[in-house]
């Protein structure tokens, strides 16, 4: 028994000695393992300030290695960028432009779009937002100066694995190509947001990017790339769960250190993203004063000091009498918290009187993603009340989009954002404005439209027609006001009443600029919008025979019309220079009439719809029906030239000429060809023939009947009259009449059906003028006979060649033997 007791005691003593030693070994091992990872990265506090799952040391170690080496993870799925994306990224990465600030506004803009999408989905399904912090729709920016990482996070819709590959690895070729072409021509990186390629601007400041994203329908994935033509996507098992949304981590270049400064980021958000509709917060530092307990040695020193005033003595006495309190002191401490950067109320919710011009311009840049220095030409901010209530802001951009008219009727692109009760619904809703006003940018916030309905139902909503009607009226009023405020648009009679000022100088030429950019849209509006045709006609501008190169309006034209003039005269063609020399204008200019020049192809269609203005009819001076006063000798001339016109018409029967008449529009030209009043003009025929899918058989129905008009005062016409009277069967006269008709066709703007025949007649005319017989033929070409080369000649050439190279000509067999010896 005693032996057992003794053994137990000895065993206990041995345990007591072993345990401290084992504890020291464990502690030493822990220290050794901590030394293996130099400067192990701490798990960052989850963006958003709430707790999350912790990560083990192995995961942190792997993440640290990946971030320090900036290489794609070995277990990730690798992909290659689309060729267009690689081309785009090369331009951005190698960009020498100083304005690299745009990357932040593009990433914030993308984050805002993602938040808009999830908020829209939440209208019909509230569960998509989740709970707690995940349900907060916000954008957060965080810095890690030690690792040179800038993070931008949103709680938007997020991206699935497929979305990451599709959205960040490939892009619509048209958008990329258009951006690259624009970049090469203008070199302006500010254009990047307008082409849907804003994400890649991040490579202006970063050489390695991670995109962590979580979509409700998929796991959390990481997209990463060094912009070397490849990217990788892998399931995220090491970062904090996002809940939902996207976090972009930019590993900044060495030269981009300025973007790790809080002041720089605050300035960029204030400048570019002030009017984003979601809160943007920065994890910012600030100094605060806190009271901390005073250490014992400090308190002892304070006690030894003698009170200097009676008040201090009383205080000390009170302290002695009362319960002894712990002494504290104030110290400055640096703390971090989320700081809201965009606390400005949405512009459209404020009164127009409260918003400054600078704020309107900033809001336009934010809305349109156009961050050039040019400000919008005009804007209109208004509240509509009544049966349908809504608020709207409309802008006229400084420049037309590059593809505004390329796919005008096929494009559903709209530049108006639709909100319903401050909730963003869509920016692809093209029912708010007609196509011809699609160049306007802005937003509409309606209190009348329902929130939780489909787009198809919204299009049928009765309030939409009322909103559209009011928007059109306000848009046209805004454009009309732009013209009225332009000093160049003021009539000469009214200029003396206008005082020149700096404001007027700034607005000078604005409407001319607008017309050069968007004039075609106004013309298309006249064609498409019958209800507003007269309003749009007031906005028309054109050059005339009396405008001295400046644009004029229909109102100004009518004001300058001659007494007794009933019609508005115009002519269509390919260029002003060509029209100025047109024979159709000769007599009109001579009599002092003003004629409008229409040189845009769309003008031909325009004038088919714009039949009159202010009770004045429009008259194309190249068509029948022109009335330019009355000539007292008209009847006499018709009678005198009756025989010639009848003969000429019969001679041109094969040319589909409807009639030959005496002209009232010619002064110096012998003859012209005009068309019937309701048929195509020569210019319209040329336009239709140049169409890709034109059908010549169908066009025959629309071609106007051609009428040859002759000038009875011209010497050629007088001579022809006399020749016909003496010998109507004279072949030379018939040839001359045919040649004159073909020449008149060309001068009147028509295309010849048989150019070869016309050329032959010209050459015959030249022969006659040179007194060369019409039967003279071209001399036959004499071909020199080729003589075969003789063997002697061939040997001579070989000898000459060998001599020129200082080589002795050798027989072929000898050359072969020499070659073998050399080998």
Using alpha carbons, select from 570, 743, 753 the residue that is nearest to residue 671.
743
The pair of structure tokens assigned to 614 is: 């202010």
In which element (H, E) is residue 262 found?
helix 262-272
Helix (H, G, I), strand (E, B) or coil at 399: coil
What is the domain partition of the chain in residue ranges? 85-282, 347-488, 540-621, 633-770
Q: Evaluate if residue 815 carries a pLDDT over 70.
A: no
Answer with the residue of higher pLDDT: 400 or 455.
400
Distance CA 628, CA 234 (A): 81
Rg (CA), the chain: 43
CA 236, 239, 245, 247 torsion: positive or negative?
negative
Helix (H, G, I), strand (E, B) or coil at 549: coil
- Mean pLDDT over each residue of the chain, to the nearest integer: 77
Residue tagged 């009947």 (tokens): 705
The whole-number average pLDDT for the span 21-43 is: 38
Distance CA 437, CA 141 (A): 38
Q: Evaluate if residue 569 carries a pLDDT over 90.
A: yes
Q: Which segments are annotated as binding site for ATP? A: 106, 110, 154, 159, 167, 173-175, 194-199, 246, 455
Distance CA 413, CA 420 (A): 20
User: Is 383:353 a contact under the CB 8 Å cutoff?
Assistant: no
SS3 for 647-669, per residue?
Answer: HHHHHCHHHCEEEEEECCCCCCC
Q: Evaluate if residue 552 carries a pLDDT over 90.
A: yes
Q: Is 661 exposed, middle or buried (0-12, 13-18, 19+ CB in 10 A)?
A: middle
SS3 for 513-546, per residue?
Answer: HHHHHHHHHHHHHHHHCCCCHHHHHHCCCEEECC
Q: Which segments are annotated as binding site? A: 106, 110, 154, 159, 167, 173-175, 194-199, 246, 455
Distance CA 206, CA 250 (A): 6
The whole-number average pLDDT for the span 211-222 is: 91
Q: Evaluate if residue 760 carries a pLDDT over 50.
A: yes
In tens, the pLDDT along 503-549 reads 566 678 889 999 999 999 999 999 999 999 999 999 999 999 998 88
**704: confidence class by pLDDT, cuts 50, 70, 90:** confident
Q: What pLDDT does 618 receive?
A: 95
Answer with the residue of higher pLDDT: 424 or 302.
424
Residues with Cβ within 8 Å of residue 31, at least 6 apart in sequence: none
Q: Evaluate if residue 294 carries a pLDDT over 90.
A: no
Range with the lowest mean pLDDT among 92-106, 522-536, 670-684, 742-756? 92-106
Q: What is the CATH number of domain 347-488?
A: 3.30.230.80
In tens, the pLDDT along 84-126 reads 666 666 666 665 445 688 788 888 888 988 898 888 888 888 8
Distance CA 665, CA 590 (A): 10
In tens, the pLDDT along 301-330 reads 545 455 555 555 555 555 555 445 567 777
Strand duo 595-598 + 441-446: pairing:
unpaired
Is CATH 3.30.565.10 the right assignment for the domain spanning 85-282? yes
The whole-number average pLDDT for the span 243-259 is: 90
In tens, the pLDDT along 711-738 reads 999 999 999 999 999 998 988 899 999 9
**415: confidence class by pLDDT, cuts 50, 70, 90:** confident
Q: What is the CATH number of domain 540-621?
A: 3.40.50.11260
The pair of structure tokens assigned to 680 is: 């195509």
Helix (H, G, I), strand (E, B) or coil at 634: helix
Q: What pLDDT does 410 receive?
A: 67
Q: Give yes or no on whether 347-488 and 540-621 have one common fold.
A: no
**599: confidence class by pLDDT, cuts 50, 70, 90:** very high
Beta bridge partners of 283: 338
**674: confidence class by pLDDT, cuts 50, 70, 90:** very high
Distance CA 478, CA 475 (A): 5
The whole-number average pLDDT for the span 408-421 is: 74
Q: Evaluate if residue 67 carries a pLDDT over 50.
A: no
**387: confidence class by pLDDT, cuts 50, 70, 90:** confident
Q: Evaluate if residue 422 carries a pLDDT over 80.
A: no
User: Is 718:644 a contact under the CB 8 Å cutoff?
Assistant: no
Enter the pTM of the model.
0.66
In tens, the pLDDT along 451-495 reads 655 566 666 777 888 889 999 999 999 999 999 988 877 655 455
Distance CA 536, CA 524 (A): 10
Beta bridge partners of 710: 662, 671
Q: What pLDDT does 487 receive?
A: 81
- Orientation of helix 642-651 relative to helix 731-747, angle to 10°: 80
Beta bridge partners of 222: 212, 234
Q: Evaluate if residue 196 carries a pLDDT over 60.
A: no
The whole-number average pLDDT for the span 640-644 is: 92
Using alpha carbons, select from 443, 142, 130 the residue that is nearest to residue 280.
142
Architecture in CATH of 633-770: Up-down Bundle (1.20)
């Amino acid at each position: 028994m005693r032996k057992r007791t003794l053994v137990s005691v000895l065993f206990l003593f041995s345990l007591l000695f072993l345990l401290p030693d084992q504890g020291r070994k464990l502690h030493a091992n822990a220290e050794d393992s901590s030394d293996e990872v130099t400067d192990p990265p701490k798990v960052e506090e989850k963006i958003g300030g709430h707790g999350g799952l912790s990560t083990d040391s192995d995961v942190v170690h792997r993440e640290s290695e990946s971030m320090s080496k900036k290489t794609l993870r070995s277990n990730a799925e690798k992909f290659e960028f689309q060729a267009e994306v690689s081309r785009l990224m090369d331009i951005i990465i190698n960009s020498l432009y100083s304005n690299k600030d745009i990357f932040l506004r593009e990433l914030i803009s993308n984050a805002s779009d993602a938040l808009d999408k999830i908020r829209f989905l939440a209208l019909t399904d509230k569960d998509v937002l989740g709970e707690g912090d995940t349900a907060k729709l916000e954008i957060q920016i965080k810095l890690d100066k030690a690792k040179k990482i800038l993070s931008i996070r949103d709680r938007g819709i997020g991206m699935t694995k497929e979305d990451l590959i599709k959205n960040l690895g490939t892009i619509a070729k048209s958008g990329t190509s258009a951006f690259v072409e624009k970049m090469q021509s203008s070199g302006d990186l500010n254009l990047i947001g307008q082409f849907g390629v804003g994400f890649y601007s991040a490579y202006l400041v970063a050489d390695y990017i991670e995109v962590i994203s979580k979509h409700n329908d998929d796991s959390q994935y990481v997209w990463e790339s060094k912009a070397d033509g490849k990217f990788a996507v892998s399931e995220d098992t090491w970062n904090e769960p996002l809940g939902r949304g996207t976090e972009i981590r930019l590993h900044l270049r060495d030269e981009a250190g300025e973007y790790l400064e809080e002041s720089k980021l605050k300035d960029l958000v204030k400048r570019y993203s002030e009017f984003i509709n979601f809160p943007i917060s920065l994890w910012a530092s600030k100094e605060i004063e806190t009271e901390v307990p005073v250490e014992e040695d400090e308190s002892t020193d304070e006690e030894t000091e003698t009170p200097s005033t009676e008040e201090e003595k009383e205080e000390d006495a009170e302290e002695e009498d009362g319960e002894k309190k712990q002494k504290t002191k104030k110290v400055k401490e640096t703390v971090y918290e989320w700081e809201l950067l965009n606390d400005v109320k949405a512009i459209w919710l404020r009164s127009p009187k409260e918003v400054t011009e600078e704020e309107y311009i900033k809001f336009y840049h934010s809305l349109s993603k156009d961050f050039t220095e040019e400000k919008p030409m005009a804007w209109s901010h208004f509240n509509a009340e009544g049966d349908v209530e809504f608020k709207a802001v409309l802008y006229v951009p400084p420049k037309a989009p590059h593809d505004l008219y390329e796919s005008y009727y096929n494009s559903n692109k709209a530049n108006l954002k639709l909100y319903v009760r401050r909730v963003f619904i869509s920016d692809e809703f093209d029912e708010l404005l007609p196509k011809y006003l699609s160049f306007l940018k802005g937003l509409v916030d309606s209190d009348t439209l329902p929130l939780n309905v489909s787009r198809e139902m919204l299009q049928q909503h009765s309030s939409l027609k009322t909103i559209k009607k009011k928007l059109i009226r306000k848009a046209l009023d805004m454009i009309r006001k732009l013209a009225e405020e332009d000093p160049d648009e003021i009539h000469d009679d009214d200029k003396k009443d206008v005082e020149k000022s700096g404001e007027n100088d700034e607005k000078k030429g604005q409407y001319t600029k607008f017309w050069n950019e968007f004039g075609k849209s106004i013309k298309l509006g006249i064609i498409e919008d019958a209800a507003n045709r007269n309003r749009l006609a007031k906005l028309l501008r054109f050059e005339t025979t009396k405008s001295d190169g400046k644009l004029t309006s229909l109102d100004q034209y009518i004001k300058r019309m001659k007494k007794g003039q009933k019609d508005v005269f115009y002519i269509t063609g390919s260029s002003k220079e060509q029209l100025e020399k047109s024979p159709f204008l000769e007599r009109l200019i001579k009599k002092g009439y003003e004629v409008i020049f229409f040189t845009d192809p769309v003008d031909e269609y325009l004038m088919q719809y714009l039949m009159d203005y202010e009770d004045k009819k429009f008259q194309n001076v190249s068509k029948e029906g022109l009335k330019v006063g009355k000539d007292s000798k008209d009847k006499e001339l018709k009678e005198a030239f009756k025989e010639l016109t009848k003969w000429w018409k019969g001679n041109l029967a094969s040319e589909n000429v409807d009639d030959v008449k005496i002209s009232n529009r010619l002064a110096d030209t012998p003859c012209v060809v005009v068309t019937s009043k309701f048929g195509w003009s020569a210019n319209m025929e040329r336009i239709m023939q140049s169409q890709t899918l034109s059908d010549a058989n169908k066009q025959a129905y629309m071609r106007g009947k051609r009428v040859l008009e002759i000038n009875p005062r011209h010497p050629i016409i007088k001579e022809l009259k006399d020749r016909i009277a003496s010998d109507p069967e004279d072949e030379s006269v018939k040839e001359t009449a045919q040649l004159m008709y073909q020449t008149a066709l060309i001068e009147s703007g028509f295309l010849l059906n048989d150019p070869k025949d016309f050329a032959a007649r010209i050459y015959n005319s030249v022969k006659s003028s040179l007194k060369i017989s019409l039967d003279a033929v071209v001399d036959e070409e004499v071909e020199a006979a080729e003589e075969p080369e003789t063997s002697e000649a061939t040997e001579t050439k070989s000898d000459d060649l060998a001599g020129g190279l200082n080589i002795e000509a050798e027989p072929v067999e000898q050359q072969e033997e020499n070659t073998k010896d050399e080998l």
